[in-house]
Structure 1
Amino acid sequence: MTAVDRHNVQVFGRPDGQPIMFSHGFGCDQQMWRHVAPAFADDHRVILFDHVGCGGSDTSAYNPLLYSTLNRYASDVVEIVEELDLSDVIFVGHSVSSMIGVLAHLAAPDRFAALALVSPSPRYIDDGGYVGGFSESDITELFFSLDSNYLGWSQSITPVIMGEQDDPALTNELTASFCRLDPTIALQFARVTFLSDNRDDLPKVTVPTLVVQCAFDAIAPPVVGTYVSEQIAGSELCVLDVAGHCPNMSAPHETTEALKAFLSGLPRP
């Protein structure tokens, strides 16, 4: 099976436009970009996909040993890019996909022109002077909840992820997305996500980078976004005056405008 089929890749927009690739976070799928991605179709070749085990991907391709680190997810991104023969790719990653994008860029630097990291976190656990937002006991409790009552955990965590929203439909949509994910895969993906540490990879980034941070985020606090921006030389930090961890869903207009402002300053390929 090709990578395009395995990851339910969807391509639309301007065929000769610079590629822009949108990558979803934990518990989500490519539909979470539906209010943002179409805004780039006039000028760009837009690529959407699902990580293995999520959305419309081929779940049978999931192997817990292979997907025990974020590097495998990054390899999938590179495989998609190579199969479509893309170059000068603008990679837009949400949450854990931000670090997946960083790793993909480092693995295939000639394929990527820029990174946009939306609500990123290189490490979720506090470590010495580093503030990630969670203690080790917090993460242990999270894994226990996931393992013992995944559906209950999904219903309780999604309001925290979405922040204070006037539209409960957004929270319900995210809950439904979590509930579509196989609990076994969800637990493994959660372990890979929340135990990862990609702080040492940030200074290696060599392409223009945008960090999009929500002003109020319980999953990746503002201090984390500031840290990511400080570690990537020359990166831009855009703080959206919104709450939550999924601005691509809760604040699509603000997210789109931040991305467009960043892209307008990039050199043309």
Structure 2
Amino acid sequence: MNIQQRNNVQVQGAGPATMVFAHGFGCDQNMWRFVARHFSQRYRVVTFDHVGSGNSDLSAYQPSKYAELAGYADDVLEIAAATAQGPTWFVGHSVSAMIGMLADLKSPGTFAAHMMIGPSPCYINDGDYIGGFTREDVESLLDTLESNYLGWASSMAPAIMGVPERPELGEELSASFCRTDPEIAKQFAKTTFLSDSRKEVARLQTPTLIVQSSEDLIAPLAVGEYLQRTLPHGMLRVVANTGHCPHLSAPGPTCDAIEEFIDALPRR
């Protein structure tokens, strides 16, 4: 199957490096429009939709493959191989930050850097680890998704987005959730919220930026601090923002954090 069609791959801009942008659960590549537009002025920018999201080819969805984050990581490696020129930097939002990490570990050298926006290696609290949710919280969330996905999407999207003074962003996220096939969304939610990639974090040798909102319902600050402590080459930048999508609600500070990180990368 054609990768470009399968994942609705779009390429814009040109430059000495390639930035591959991967969206989170319930979203699509349009969520990157502010940040991608900024960096496409100087770099080759690749955006895409995970299979089952946005304008991807729904016929390519395989429940067995996408029951694990590794299935999405395999797609990322194929997209990078087909589109990248020069050093390749992976920019992943939320669960896609871990998808990019798994792709890197499977094929070391594919990515020269990672920019993780609101990442979380595990959403469930475990001993001293604070993921933001109890197991009961997650089970309740998944039960609600199973029984009333559209209702959950409409009510939760504004809370996830934050910035109540800009309700149009919450409405945009809600619409994005509602456009996703409910059955695929339910499985992606299970794959996301039950995932635990903490054992892999310490293995990632690639320079990594963690961009964390100061207030985030999905990935609390403690998660960003954990990643900074655990990643061998991690840098944490906290953006003054309420919500899980700073690339939409605070694109300027998010771009500034990425620019600072890029400037500090070793030059080849």
TM-score by length of 2: 0.98
**Which residue of 2 is the match for residue 17 of structure 1?**
16
The answer as to 2:240 corresponding to 1:251 is: no
- Please give the alpha-carbon distance, in whole angstroms, between the structure 2 residues aligned to 1:249 and 1:241: 13
**Which residue of 1 is the match for residue 3 of structure 2?**
3
Is contact 1:86-1:111 (8 Å) kept?
no
**Which residue of 2 is the match for residue 120 of structure 1?**
119
Count of paired positions: 268
Offset of residue 86 of structure 1: 4.2
- Please give the alpha-carbon distance, in whole angstroms, between the structure 2 residues aligned to 1:205 and 1:107: 10
Measured against aligned partners, the alpha-carbon deviations of 1:111-145 in whole angstroms (never above 9, x if no partner) come to 11000111000000111111101011111111111
- Please give the alpha-carbon distance, in whole angstroms, between the structure 2 residues aligned to 1:62 and 1:6: 9
SS class of match (1:109) = coil
Is contact 1:121-1:224 (8 Å) kept?
yes
- Please give the alpha-carbon distance, in whole angstroms, between the structure 1 residues aligned to 2:107 and 2:241: 34
Offset of residue 267 of structure 1: 2.0
Offset of residue 84 of structure 1: 2.6
Is contact 1:87-1:110 (8 Å) kept?
no
Offset of residue 212 of structure 1: 0.5
1:55-94 aligned within 5 A? 55-84=54-83, 86-94=85-93
Which residue identity lines up with residue 6 of structure 1 in the other structure? R
SS class of match (1:39) = helix
Which residue identity lines up with residue 214 of structure 1 in the other structure? S
The answer as to 2:170 corresponding to 1:167 is: no
**Which residue of 2 is the match for residue 212 of structure 1?**
211
SS class of match (2:59) = helix
- Please give the alpha-carbon distance, in whole angstroms, between the structure 1 residues aligned to 2:138 and 2:189: 10
Measured against aligned partners, the alpha-carbon deviations of 1:91-121 in whole angstroms (never above 9, x if no partner) come to 0000000000100111111211000111000
Measured against aligned partners, the alpha-carbon deviations of 1:199-237 in whole angstroms (never above 9, x if no partner) come to 011111111110001110110000001001111013110
Q: Which runs of 4+ in 1 moved over 6 A?
A: none
- Please give the alpha-carbon distance, in whole angstroms, between the structure 2 residues aligned to 1:204 and 1:88: 20
Offset of residue 85 of structure 1: 5.2
Gaps of 5+ in 1: none
Which residue identity lines up with residue 217 of structure 2 in the other structure? A
Is contact 1:161-1:245 (8 Å) kept?
yes
- Please give the alpha-carbon distance, in whole angstroms, between the structure 1 residues aligned to 2:241 and 2:80: 32
**Which residue of 1 is the match for residue 226 of structure 2?**
227
Offset of residue 42 of structure 1: 2.3
Is contact 2:18-2:84 (8 Å) kept?
no
**Which residue of 1 is the match for residue 260 of structure 2?**
261
RMSD over aligned Cα atoms = 1.0
**Which residue of 1 is the match for residue 178 of structure 2?**
179
Measured against aligned partners, the alpha-carbon deviations of 1:142-176 in whole angstroms (never above 9, x if no partner) come to 11111111111001111221123311000000000
**Which residue of 2 is the match for residue 143 of structure 1?**
142
- Please give the alpha-carbon distance, in whole angstroms, between the structure 1 residues aligned to 2:106 and 2:3: 17
